[in-house]
Every structure is written in structure tokens, then in C-alpha cells.
Amino acid sequence: MRLRFPMKPAVLPFLVVSLVFLSQSAVGIRNIPGRISGFDIVQFVEAPEYRNGKECASQSSNRENFVSSCDPSLVHVAMTLDSEYLRGSIAAVHSVLRHASCPENVFFHFIAAEFDPASPRILSRLVRSTFPSLSFKVYIFREDTVINLISSSIRQALESPLNYARNYLGDILDRCVDRVIYLDSDIIVVDDITKLWNTTLTGSRVIGAPEYCHANFTKYFTSSFWSDPGLPGSFSGRKPCYFNTGVMVMDLVRWREGSYREKIETWMQIQKKKRIYELGSLPPFLLVFAGDVEAIDHRWNQHGLGGDNVRGSCRSLHKGPVSLLHWSGKGKPWVRLDEKRPCPLDHLWEPYDLYEHKIDRAKDQALLGFSSLSELTEDSSFL
């Protein structure tokens, strides 16, 4: 990989203008607390230009200036893009490019909510300004597709319609996209994303993710679920284990053929009637897939760094090597850093942050050394 820094580290002002929401009587539309309101200036610096090295020439030599979202030779990554988690999404993209062996061979599929305060067009312009050579496409997610299926959750952020966009990737993305890596916006990747992309989904498996079979699986569902005479039988013939849906390798051909979006929606409809879980979009995935997931090495989802869903307390890394850090939970690194109360691991996220107010370009290259990570994990062979 060849790295080029811009000749002038231009600061890119981004004016986010709040949209006027439709009236409360509009079906399927609601305001999500915490999003940008009024006028807000969000400034990002232009990212360094990450180019393919010689080892990537054979993969890109036949490619012209236009890169198709249908190209099966590319690594396809899907993420949501919204005003609330924008800073996290930009940092996540930056981290993927920084560590990719062939960064020009990564294609991003961004899903933006139709009624976000920052319109999909504005968000698209921001991504292009921050990553001028990035290959990406922005899709519009209609919130009314899912709004009437969403139940209240233990944490209000988990009720955002965009949090359920992963359920609809088979419908939203171009039909020619057969396979995708789904990533949450509160992650950073510190390894070559191609390694995750090369995961083989054996047999008829539809998704791959790190599994955590030591976790108490029963706690992800209410007593109403476990006491029901029929519902627990959905796990019959499976040995279900917890997995986190913030990092998944997905076979979209099998997803579409198996009507998995409809299966997830069926459980959401049951939830509206019987209250069988508390945790937003995760439990329906567990109900459909737990026990039939391609197990991926735990290094690809060091999750829980945002603490629990109530206090957002500090967490430490699990033992072993790390390829991806995930601030799932209430606490987000950019919020804690701005509030001057960061957790120790939040400083591992900071070098990827392109938010203008904290960037010191003189220190930027030094920050990208990531030496602190090797001090916090026992095995840092990925560095």
C-alpha cells in the first residue's frame, strides 16, 4: 500500500442544515433524540490518500476510472451513515483504508436514512470531500419500512430505524452484490479487511461472525419468551450462541433466497404482541441464526468497549490478538473524548478521528504508529 498525504491539509467545512420534519401525524416518521438540530458546522480534514501497492496491480490493472458497485473482485463493506454517528463512520472508513493491503479494492455501500437531519446527498458530498478517491455508493433507507415493527428498547438509541437497516441489505443493495461485510459505525479496523472478506461460509450458512458460547444466552430474552409453550422450540436442533451483529460477513444470495428479512420481521411482529426481548435489533438475528453461524476468530470483534447499555462504563480488551475494536454499548469514544472523560481504550480510536477541532497535522503521522495498542494487548502480531 502506498500512502500519500495531501499537499495542503485542507479543512473541509460541512454545513449541516436540519430538515423540517413532517407532521406528527405522518405515518412512520419520528424524530430521534440526540441528532443534529438547527445549524451545526461539522468540519473534517481530508484523509491521506491511500493507494494500492504493486502487489495489487494485477487486481486493478484492467480497471478504468469508473469502479462498479457490482465488481465481484472488490471487498464490499456496508455501513450506515447518519448525522448522529457521522464522526464514528468517518473514523471507521479511515481505519479500513489505513490497514487495507489494497485500499483501492474496497467498495463502501453506505445506507442513509431518508429523513435524517443531514440529507443523503449532503452526507454523500461529505464522504467525497473527506475521501476524494474512495469508491462508494449511498443508498436511501426508507424509515417507514420498519418503523411500525420497532418496539421500545433498553436504550433509546437502539430504537433508531437505521439500526435495523442491516435487516434489509438484501433489498437495499444492488442485486448484483452477492456478498458483503456489515460493520457498525462505532468500530475501528486495525488489520487488513481482506482477511475478514476471505471468510468461507461453509455449507448453507448465510452469515459469519465471532461467537461467544460462554455468554448466558438466556438473558437475551424475557421470561415471557422462555415460559411460552412454543417459542423456545425455535432453537430445537441448534446449539445457540450469542454473537454481535455489528460485524458480519453476509452471503446476500442465500439471504435473499431464504427470505431471511421476512423471518426477522416475523419475530419483530411477535415481539410487538408478547414482549420477548429488550435489546433492539439483536434478538431477532439470534432467533433466526444463533447456532447456525460461521464462527469467525474473536479478534474480529473486540466488542463491548462502550460499556453496558445503562452506564457506558470503561472496559478492557479481551485476551488475545485484535483486528477490530468495537465500542458497542452506551459509551462512544468521540463523546467521552470531547467531554474530557475518556476511557483508556478510547485513545486507540483517536488517531483515526478526522474531526477538525482536534486534528494537529504535525502529529498526525506519529499518531498513526499505534504503538499504544501493543502495550494494551498481549498478542499484537497484526501490527
Task: Report the CATH number that the domain containing residue 266 is assigned in CATH.
Answer: 3.90.550.10
Residue 19 maps to a domain: no
For the chain, the domain total comes to: 1
Residue 60 maps to a domain: no
Burial of residue 66, with CB atoms counted within 10 A of its CB: 0-12 exposed, 13-18 middle, 19 or more buried: exposed
Q: What is the pLDDT of residue 18?
A: 35
Helices (H), the chain: 57-60, 86-99, 120-130, 169-172, 193-197, 223-227, 252-257, 260-274, 282-289, 333-338, 346-349, 361-367, 371-376
The pTM score is 0.83
DSSP state of 367: H
Residue 119 maps to a domain: yes
Count the Cβ atoms, other than its own, within 10 Å of residue 350: 17
Residue 200 maps to a domain: yes
Q: Which domain holds residue 230?
A: 75-299
CA distances from 29 to 115, 142, 147 (A): 8, 10, 7
Provide the total of helices (H) and of strands (E) in the chain, helices listed first: 13, 15
Per-residue pLDDT of the chain (383 residues; tens, 9 = 90+): 666 555 444 444 433 333 322 232 223 322 233 334 433 546 899 999 999 988 885 444 444 567 899 999 999 999 999 999 999 999 999 999 999 999 999 999 999 999 889 999 999 999 999 999 999 999 999 999 999 998 876 656 567 899 999 999 999 999 999 999 999 999 999 999 999 999 999 999 999 999 999 999 999 999 999 999 999 999 999 999 999 999 999 999 999 999 999 999 999 999 999 999 988 899 999 999 999 999 999 999 999 999 876 776 898 988 899 999 999 988 999 999 999 999 999 999 999 999 986 545 434 444 444 444 544 444 333 33
Residue 278 maps to a domain: yes
Residue 51 maps to a domain: no
Residue 213 maps to a domain: yes
Residue 350 maps to a domain: no
